[in-house]
């Protein structure tokens, strides 16, 4: 499957790009035939009203002929501050998120929806293009409350850390038997030093964790927060180079924690094509040998 972040800004200026995810997904749906597509993840509470997210997701499910999964999360200040609505506490963001998911699910049913809620209003909304099977909803988690929401409201769970405790909490709240998707940044290059340099330049923010990253409002904030992160620090947490064993060992904690899928996020736009070619020939066979 293929995933895309839904961002207004990049995390760091060195990443250089941040296109509109839904246009990219529409193009990808038409350029591909089999690979599943997924937002990783969309915030349905600030930049987007949940009724609009529901329409976009339903349309993309039709364009992709049933290959789309709607990954949702409670958002990052980095992207959501642009509409001037402030950045409330995490408890309020979770309240908004739960209400938004309920609205999206109601609209996926195809009828008229009227809603007067704590955070959102919907007036006589209806989706006129509704797929026979609505896109499954994935929910990103980082703690107990988000795991509770994911288990109760989601069709799958998304996490960026290989913590078995997150999946245990997800299961406690209704997630048993549902897919669990992990995320791992990787940096393939035939020259390991080049890969480490690229990973440090573009992804050194990743190790800060989402409790920090979700609060930072601008790429310059990420620059300041990561100014003391060294290339060696990055190389310890992100597999770099072209040794498949290093990539397999980086995936192993996710498999052992109970994740059923993992998104390998190759760092660097110019390196996508060679990474995919190497993955097909070398990495994917190694992963299959290791994990079945």
- Please list, in sequence order, all residues whose beta carbon lies within 8 angstroms of the beta carbon of residue 124, skipping any fewer than 6 positions away: 112, 113, 114
Instruction: Look at residue 159 and tell me if it is in a domain.
Output: no
11 and 133: one domain? yes
Domain end call among 140, 155, 176? 140
Shared domain check, 201 and 113: no
Clarify whether residues 132 and 2 are in a common domain: yes
Instruction: Please check whether residue 155 lies inside any domain of the structure.
Output: no
Rounded to 5°, angle at Cα 35 from 292 and 290: 15
pLDDT for 205 equals 96
Cβ atoms of 74 and 93 within 8 Å: the answer is yes
| One domain for residues 213 and 134 | no
For the segment 25-49, the average pLDDT, to the nearest whole number, is: 98
Question: Among candidates 44, 56, 134, 105, which has minimal Cα distance to 80?
Answer: 44
Q: Report if residue 198 sits inside a domain.
A: yes
Residue 292 has pLDDT above 90, yes or no: no
Does 33 reside within a domain? yes
- Whether residues 91 and 215 share a domain: the answer is no
pLDDT at 209 over 90: no
* Domain closes at, from 140, 165, 198: 140
Task: Identify whether residues 239 and 109 lie together within a single domain.
Answer: no
- pLDDT tens for residues 89-135? 999 999 999 999 999 999 999 999 999 999 999 999 999 999 999 99
Average of per-residue pLDDT across 229-236: 97
Is 135:58 a contact under the CB 8 Å cutoff?
Answer: yes
Same domain, 1 and 136: yes
Answer yes or no: do 207 and 111 share one domain.
no
- Say whether both 27 and 136 belong to one domain: yes
pLDDT, one tens digit per residue, over 139-172 is: 999 999 999 999 999 999 999 999 999 999 999 9
Query: Residue 253 — pLDDT band, cuts 50, 70, 90?
Result: very high
Residues 16 and 120 occupy one common structural domain: yes
In a domain, 164, yes or no: no
Boundaries of domain holding 197: 186-292
140, 158, 173 - which closes a domain: 140
Total domains in the chain come to 2
- Domain assignment present for residue 176? The answer is no
**What is the model's pLDDT at position 208?**
83
Phi/psi at 187 (nearest 5 deg)? -140, 95
- Here the CATH number for the domain that contains residue 131 is 3.20.20.30
Instruction: Give the integer Cα–Cα distance in Å for 288 and 292.
Output: 5
Specify whether 124 is located in the same domain as 222: no
Question: pLDDT for 54-78, tens place per residue?
Answer: 999 999 999 999 999 999 999 999 9
Catalytic residues: 7, 76
pTM greater than the 0.75 cutoff: yes
Does some domain include residue 132? yes
Give yes or no for residue 210 having a pLDDT over 90: no
DSSP 8-state code for residue 42: B
Same domain, 13 and 83: yes
Q: At residue 207, does pLDDT exceed 90?
A: no
| % pLDDT > 70, the chain | 100
157 lies in a domain? no
Q: Strand, coil or helix: what is 36? A: coil
Mean pLDDT of 219-230: 97
Q: How far is CA 117 from CA 95, 96, 103, 123, in A?
A: 11, 10, 10, 11
Q: What is the mean pLDDT of the chain?
A: 97
Measured from the Cβ of residue 207, the count of other Cβ atoms closer than 10 Å reads 16
């Amino acid at each position: 499957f293929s995933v895309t972040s839904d961002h207004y800004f990049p995390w760091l200026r060195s990443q250089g790009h941040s296109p509109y995810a839904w246009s990219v997904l529409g193009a990808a749906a038409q350029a591909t035939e089999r690979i599943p597509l997924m937002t990783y993840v969309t915030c349905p509470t600030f930049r987007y009203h949940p009724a609009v997210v529901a329409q976009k997701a339903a349309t993309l499910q039709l364009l992709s002929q049933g290959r789309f999964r709607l990954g949702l999360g409670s958002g990052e200040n980095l992207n959501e501050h642009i509409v001037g609505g402030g950045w409330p506490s995490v408890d309020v963001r979770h309240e908004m998120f739960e209400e938004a998911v309920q609205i999206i699910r109601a609209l996926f049913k195809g009828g008229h929806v009227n809603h007067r809620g704590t955070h959102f209003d919907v007036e006589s909304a209806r989706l006129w293009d509704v797929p026979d099977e609505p896109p499954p909803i994935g929910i990103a988690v980082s703690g107990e409350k988000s795991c509770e929401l994911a288990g109760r409201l989601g069709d799958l769970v998304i996490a960026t850390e290989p913590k078995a405790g997150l999946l245990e909490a997800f299961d406690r709240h209704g997630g048993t038997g549902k897919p669990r998707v992990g995320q791992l940044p990787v940096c393939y290059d035939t020259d390991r030093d080049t890969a480490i340099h690229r990973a440090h330049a573009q992804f050194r923010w990743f190790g800060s964790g989402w409790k920090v990253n979700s609060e930072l409002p601008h790429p310059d904030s990420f620059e300041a927060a990561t100014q003391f992160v060294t290339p060696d620090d990055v190389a310890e947490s992100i597999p770099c180079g072209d040794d498949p064993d290093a990539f397999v060992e980086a995936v192993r904690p996710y498999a052992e924690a109970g994740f059923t899928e993992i998104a390998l996020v190759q760092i660097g736009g110019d390196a996508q094509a060679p990474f995919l070619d190497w993955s097909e020939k070398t990495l994917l066979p190694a992963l299959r040998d290791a994990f079945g």
